[in-house]
Chains A and B, each alone.
Chain A
């Protein structure tokens, strides 16, 4: 390489001579690298589109035989589902799914929104207990309580509630909720509409509460202050000015919650009652679209199998409509309505009465809702912890794997491999996509909007549909269920999470660092890899942890892609059960409830640890800023 820099000037200085800066960089080569990198990032970004179209296409394709045999009309509006007799009508299941989702939206939506209001405006950050007695222990307890930041605690409560795997909710529903409800009605039936609605409510509360909270906190402080200045009480200001102004965000959170409820399979599989009939009341056995698939996919063949895939298609269409309707929520009525309502309500109060009882009532209701959320989490956690410990068995953890008894080791290794393979594939693609969206594409340009819509759509697709897709594509391609097929499926499931949190962290990298790097002559690729990505590392770590959590807790997408088996050779090309799938297996027939509880406890501990890890990372990031 040639010496291209004359440093005579520097030699005159009183410091040591700098070695010469040789260029080992060829212009054309580095240009090529730039272009290649850009193409790779674009391909990563397009991956989500391919995934959504691929899933939709294959589900559609798999549905054709059944739809052709039965007829679309008879399939959708037929009231009898009886595969033995070749009858495939899914209307009862559509109706059941819609009712249950509606119930969840009403209960969970209300509790979620009011919890968000409470957390944003009334939840105290600090307690101010004063203990005047002499008891030292009590004084210490009081001091300790005063240290608690209740708002931060609630944030974690909501995150934990969101992190609990569906299958654990299912177990809780089966063992606690159903017996409880059965005691409440004369027929002694616990399963059905009410049980499903309640359980799904709990599951959508985190989605609704956290997104509503974001929306409420995004309302300009001036609305709140403006209302107070007009003589509103705090409660009035919140409910008459702030909440209406956050309306579009709240509506969006409800829509996402509805999508989540409709697509949930494993949580309701044991509490729906599993009868393919129309409901006759709150307590009557039902079957939903999702549970229809899970119940029969394991043994269905030919037309029957195709009819189940078609059930998935109907579910997917519902979900697509729900997800796309998000785009219809007007973004701009955010502010205006709130203000209008505020001023008009003030002008119309001609009599100037001291009002506000309603708002005060709502405030109390909001506090109750928040308490309810905390109680739900506590109930689930305490129940699983107690039963997990009570059922502890040395054999489960340490005995060799057997074909007829569930043990820890095979599930552990299958889960480990599942996570590793999924991440190895999903992280590069997701990070690449995020880089394209954030570093290359023009924000809000058409291609970006389209890609984002597809990413949102991908993230809205229910697990069970991913499972169907994985089953008819990956499992078939790889010659049957395997850990690898499960991992490929999970790659699609976690991709949106990876893209989103990576993008957020890219956004947090100051522009000045990029400028500094360009200013030093670094090209775009070098800037991205040496400066931007290392600075975005906490976000990427968070993305990985969130993905691990999602993979660890996933069950519906895995039951028909990994296979339910009690042994595992360690070879990812063979069948193996993750923790969740094994839990499903253990509790499904009620044969291994002890093991089911231990598995539930293990999953709970892991999701707690992952939450802690995210918390620690975010705390560190905050500190360093």
Chain B
């Protein structure tokens, strides 16, 4: 944007993250066919914070997460009402560039899903998508991204080996590095540690605390301890409704809503 020759269309930085609010969700209703999965959800996600989403299975956490990078577009019969603005832009506007959106809003999935290619090619995937071809540039991005995902030391000698040979925890951190290589401003993580062992989980939590210094993280988790450990603020969902959204400390120590209390004290099972 500093360069005037750059046309608007070429620009991937269509979002303006200068304000304090990274994501603003207003009266969001989401339907899968006739089934309403999200009901009147409104929330503001702050920049450089980790926001955790908790709630029983099927309450719509993943669904909400996927509206933020429009992965729901892939689902047939999925319909949305309300608005979501990210970096001052309505991401459901007609002229939104999906690629640019997803470049800026990265996603890490529940099960590690590295592509069946080398470690290097996995990480270089997004940069290549966006036209970077020079070996030197790619090398640098790959190294930086792997370092940011704290997995560089483990993988630097096997960059050309298949990513499928890594352990589950390594695969997940590789997937994080792969997302980071797109240089996103927001990172969506859907139960990123639920398929991992405790040690890998710890590493990823550490990593998130480091990463949040320069981006915004939204994490869905089943694990309430995890939310208390890492999240600045936590949202509790129940049957498609946002029941409560507060400081993590507040939400877990003195919840305002009975349903939240029941959930965090384990009565929902």
Contact = CB atoms under 8 A, between A and B. Distances in A.
A30 B69 CA distance: 19
Interface stretch (A158-166, A397-405, A522-530): A522-530
A7 interface: yes
Contacts of B183: 5, 7, 18, 21
Nearest to A523: B99
Nearest to B110: A512
Contacts of A521: 98-103, 126, 129-130, 182
Interface stretch (B10-18, B83-91, B240-248, B256-264): B10-18
B265 interface: no
Nearest to B116: A535
Nearest to B210: A13
Interface in B40-92: 69, 71, 74, 76
A5, A28, A518, A523: most-surrounded residue (chain B CB, <10 A): A518
A328 interface: no
Contacts of B1: 4
B143 interface: yes
Nearest to A522: B129
B130 A21 contact: yes
A30 B103 CA distance: 15
Contact of B3 (A4, A27, A510): A4
B169 interface: no
B99 A22 contact: no
Contacts of B100: 521
Interface in B171-215: 175, 178-179, 182-183, 210, 213-214
A324 B3 CA distance: 63
B147 A16 contact: yes
Contacts of B147: 15-16
A359 interface: no
A9 interface: yes
A5, A7, A515, A516: most-surrounded residue (chain B CB, <10 A): A516
A518 B102 contact: yes
Interface in B135-187: 137, 140-141, 143-145, 147-148, 152, 164, 175, 178-179, 182-183
A332 interface: no
A523 B70 CA distance: 13
B129 A23 contact: no
Given A26-B10, A520-B106, A2 B148 contact: no
Contact of A23 (B71, B109, B115, B130): B130
A16 B144 contact: yes
A515 B72 CA distance: 10
B116, B141, B175: most-surrounded residue (chain A CB, <10 A): B116
A25 B127 CA distance: 11
B144 A18 contact: yes
A369 to B, nearest CB: 42
B10 A21 contact: no
A519 interface: yes
Contact of B113 (A7, A516, A624): A516
A9 B2 contact: no
Interface string A23-37: 111111010000000
A530 B183 CA distance: 20
A3 interface: yes
Contacts of B152: 15
Contacts of A15: 144, 147-148, 152
A442 interface: yes
A17 interface: yes
Given A21-B127, A519-B107, A522-B125, A4 B11 contact: yes
A506 to B, nearest CB: 14
A519 B148 contact: no
B181 to A, nearest CB: 8
Interface string A417-442: 00000000000000000000000001
B144 A520 contact: no
A593 interface: no
A233 interface: no
Interface string A515-559: 111111111001000110011000000000000000000000000
B94 interface: no
A510 B129 contact: no
B129 A520 contact: yes
Given A19-B140, A27-B10, A521-B99, A515 B113 contact: yes
A3 B144 CA distance: 18
Contacts of B126: 520-522
B5 interface: yes
Contacts of B102: 518-522
Contacts of B130: 21-25, 521
Given A3-B2, A5-B183, A624 B164 contact: yes
B9 interface: yes
Nearest to A520: B126
Contacts of A72: none
A389 interface: no
A129 interface: no
A184 interface: no
Contacts of A609: none
A21 B3 contact: no
A390 interface: no
A513 interface: yes
A535 B116 CA distance: 7
A10 interface: yes
Contacts of A16: 140, 143-144, 147
A521 B69 CA distance: 9
B97 interface: yes
Contacts of A3: 2-3
B7, B12, B106: most-surrounded residue (chain A CB, <10 A): B12
A30 B5 contact: no
Contacts of A512: 109, 111, 113
B6 interface: yes
A30 B99 contact: yes
Nearest to B114: A516
Interface string B1-35: 11101110111110000000000000000000000
B71 A520 contact: no
A19 B141 contact: yes
A522 B99 contact: yes
Contacts of B98: 521, 523
B6 A10 contact: no
A13 B148 contact: yes
A624 B164 CA distance: 9
Contacts of B12: 4-5, 21, 23, 25
A17, A21, A25, A519: most-surrounded residue (chain B CB, <10 A): A519
Contacts of A516: 107, 109, 113, 115, 175, 178
28 contacts: A2-B6, A3-B2, A4-B1, A4-B11, A9-B213, A12-B214, A16-B143, A16-B147, A18-B140, A18-B141, A21-B12, A21-B127, A23-B12, A27-B10, A512-B113, A513-B113, A515-B74, A517-B125, A519-B106, A519-B109, A520-B179, A521-B99, A522-B125, A522-B126, A523-B129, A526-B129, A531-B115, A534-B115
